[in-house]
Amino acid sequence: MRFPSYSRLLVVLVLVTGGAALAQRRQLQDFQGEEMTQQERNAARARPKYNINSYGKDIQIKEEPIPWKAIGLAVIAFAITGPFAWRIYKGTTKEIAEANVFGVASSRVSEGEDEQQP
């Protein structure tokens, strides 16, 4: 069992060292950059920095129109349901205010107390 794992390790080691040895033998070419004139430098600086190609010039962003029909429908729905909602809100708050008797004697209890006392 150990023999195949050692052989694989040996093959990988030979391939890696062989690739490194070949890479050292190959010489890189020297870079010969050409000198730019002052005008060419100014022109290069004037160009957009991040616009690599003219792809951005050809694309036109499609702006979606405002959904006026949906806004109008929502306004109409609120205009119709608004008065009913207000009437229900007022009725509910009135019922809650009448039922909120915590700490206050109600009229039934006070009448009963008056009858019982001489």
CA–CA separation, 95 and 88 (whole Å)? 11
More confident residue, 69 or 57: 69
Counted residue by residue, the chain has a size of: 118
pLDDT bracket for residue 36 (50, 70, 90): confident
Structure tokens given for 85: 């909602």
pLDDT bracket for residue 116 (50, 70, 90): low
pLDDT higher than threshold 60 for residue 2: no
